[in-house]
Amino acid sequence: MKSMPRAGRRQILPALMPSNDLIQRPPGLAKDSTKSQAARNYSRMAADAFARAAVLAGVEERFYDIGDSTIALRFAGKALQPIVTPALEHLSSLHHAPDLRIELADRSSLGETLPRPTSATSVPLANLSYTDGEISAVVQRDLNTLNLFDAKNNHGYFWANDVASLPWYEAGFPLRLMFHLWFRRREQFFVHAAAVGNENGAALIVGKGGSGKSTTALACLEAGLAYLGDDYSLVKAEPEPRVWSLYCSAKVTDETLVRFPQLARFLKRRGTDVEKHLLFFDQKISMKKSLPVRAVLWPRITGRVESKLIPASAATLLLALAPSSILQLPGAGAADFQMLAKLLCRVPTYILEAGTDMAKLAATVKNCLE
Amino acid sequence: MCDAKKGKSRLNKGLYNICTGAVLSLPHMPDGPVYRINTPQVIHQTIDGEVVVINLDTGTYFSLTESAQTIWSVLEGGAGKEEVIAILEKNYSGVAGEIESHVTKFFDELIAEKLIVPSQPAEIKSNPIADSVNLGSKVPFVPPALKKFTDMQELLLLDPVHEVDATGWPQANPPGAHAK
């Protein structure tokens, strides 16, 4: 078995003093911007806490080419690494000059929770999410995690209070909000969509959970199409519609594993509370990092054997793509909506009547790429 | 593939006549209350005569076509109900009073869904669409409909809003929070 390249991995660094970019922050915002100043103050406190965690637990840094960016993940301690890195392994990079650096720490690396915001800093942060364009902060309540993003310094901070309590599915799609906060500034958008393709380009497969995105993507993977993702992808509308792979994972049900038994070899993490599991693909399957988008499909499971494509309006596909993407992402709004509409205006859009014959389903998708 | 997919954008670029694309002007201010789209909580896009609207506060989203799309396009510049009724009566054929009653009902729905809100007079400087909307010859009136979707509201259950207390930040997870 060939393992994925590990070019991005570095040995654990000795516990050094925190780097300057962690402790020297830019000047505060305008004096009349109380909330922005408070957010900056909290950001500075949090950065200091991450620096302490790095000193206490040691640092390991990995590099990834994601979208149009090289991103460094700088782990304080080891606890978060098995949660964050497996789904990004296919994007490991040899480039060590990152556009974005994300610090990752948890309570075990710091030995305590993050400092509590003082009354001076809690003004904007008591109600999260918060953004002033420069500092963005989002607490994911269901995960008990903090995403703090400093756009001016191209620096992100991801905190998990308790790694052991993170839900099983988090390893499949890590750092979603951090990627969203970073890439939307580069006019790339984190979307709730699967993507598969070939040398001609990619089909983006949209729809809410349970609509058939994963099944369609896995059927295509089995039929030899390249895999870019089964649940989340990164897209851009201009200058041409384009999709990037984010995660080499797939969230599947027991039923899916029965339908695609040969994929069971990729099963790495079983769900704990539901009958869903995570697959992590490696070089044994065809994966692409990026392709031009040639069609957008909205699957509808019919129960019939045959599959077919029915031309649909871009507005219909916008209904399937935009709400399920935008409503998951704090801070997403009108500009993101417009970008998704632009993308859908520029490529053929279809309802995919997804039949029960997986080979025919994949052939139908392949047809729209010809 | 339609024209837009060959390179011509079908997106609304702003305030314009939905048929001719001409930029239009508002000759007078309306007499009654004026409403505007409830931005930034409400976001919207129009493609090929269909408006897709998302209320970011509630997680509901909507589709508007035909006369509902016409009304929405007028509201993009801020408009009163009487003004909308006048525009529809000019462009649609129907039984007397029918348009008014349906527009009133439709406005009530838009207000109840918080998709439009009353405007302050200072917010309405001019409406380039307003009473210049011209569909050519009159077309049969189809009552405006607000097609509503609520299946994404569950995503708001993952609302990141979080309060701070003395135990540190973030707080411990509430029991059962991972049921997904």
Q: ipTM, 2 decimals?
A: 0.83
Q: Which of B40, B158, B164 sits opposite A142 (nearest CB)?
A: B158
What is the DSSP-derived secondary structure letter of residue B162?
A: -
Distances (CA, A) of A315 to A311, A340, A345, B61: 12, 10, 9, 13
**Are A250 and A279 spatial neighbours (Cβ–Cβ below 8 Å)?**
yes
What is the DSSP-derived secondary structure letter of residue B168?
A: B
In tens, the pLDDT along B119-175 reads 876 555 555 555 556 666 788 999 999 999 998 876 664 433 323 333 334 443 343
- Tokens 């300057």 correspond to A20
Nearest to A210 by CA among A231, A225, A228, A196: A231
A125, A139, A309, A349: best to mutate for the B interface, most B CBs within 10 A: A139
- At A340, the pLDDT band (50, 70, 90 cuts) reads very high
CB within 8 Å: B158 and A126: no
In tens, the pLDDT along A254-311 reads 888 999 999 999 998 776 666 788 999 998 889 999 999 999 999 999 989 999 999 9
Q: CB count, 10 Å around CB of B120?
A: 10
Residues facing residue A276 across a β-bridge: A253
Window from A120-129, A138-147, A203-212, A327-336 with minimum mean pLDDT: A120-129
Q: CB count, 10 Å around CB of B101?
A: 12
Cβ–Cβ contact B168 with A under 8 A: yes
- At A15, the pLDDT band (50, 70, 90 cuts) reads very low
In tens, the pLDDT along A91-118 reads 999 988 999 999 999 999 998 887 655 5
Q: Which of B11, B155, B165 sits opposite A327 (nearest CB)?
A: B155
**Are B81 and B32 spatial neighbours (Cβ–Cβ below 8 Å)?**
yes
CB within 8 Å: A333 and B158: no
**Identity of the residue numbered A154:** N
In tens, the pLDDT along A232-265 reads 999 999 999 999 999 999 998 888 899 999 999 9
- Tokens 């654990």 correspond to A12
Q: How far apart are CA B119 and CA B103, in angstroms?
A: 18
**Are B129 and B21 spatial neighbours (Cβ–Cβ below 8 Å)?**
no
Q: Is the dihedral of CA B145, B147, B153, B155 positive or negative?
A: negative
**The tokens of A207 are what?**
């729809």
Window from A13-22, A329-338, B139-148 with minimum mean pLDDT: A13-22
Q: Helix (H, G, I), strand (E, B), or coil: what is residue A365?
A: helix
Extended beta strands in chain A, E state: 59-66, 69-76, 100-106, 130-131, 135-140, 145-150, 155-160, 189-191, 193-198, 201-206, 226-229, 233-236, 242-245, 249-253, 267-270, 276-280, 290-301, 308-311, 349-354
**Are A221 and A197 spatial neighbours (Cβ–Cβ below 8 Å)?**
no
**Are A148 and A43 spatial neighbours (Cβ–Cβ below 8 Å)?**
yes
Distance from CA of B95 to the nearest CA of A (A): 31
B-chain CB neighbours of A117 within 8 Å are 164, 169
- At A1, the pLDDT band (50, 70, 90 cuts) reads very low
Q: Is the confidence at residue A149, as pLDDT, over 60?
A: yes
CB within 8 Å: A128 and B161: yes
Preceding amide of B170 cis, omega within 30? yes
Residues facing residue B168 across a β-bridge: B165
Average pLDDT taken over every residue of chain A: 85
Q: How far apart are CA A230 and CA A217, in angstroms?
A: 6
A-chain CB neighbours of B45 within 8 Å are 318, 322, 337-338, 340-341
Window from A40-44, A177-181, B41-45 with minimum mean pLDDT: A40-44
Report the predicted TM-score, pTM, of the whole model to 2 decimal places: 0.82
Q: How far apart are CA A202 and CA A244, in angstroms?
A: 10
Nearest to A178 by CA among A74, A254, A39, A301: A74
End-to-end CA distance of chain A: 33
**Are A60 and A78 spatial neighbours (Cβ–Cβ below 8 Å)?**
yes
Please report how many Cα atoms fall inside a 13 Å half-sphere around the Cα of residue B171, on the Cβ side. Answer: 15
Q: How far apart are CA A167 and CA A106, in angstroms?
A: 15
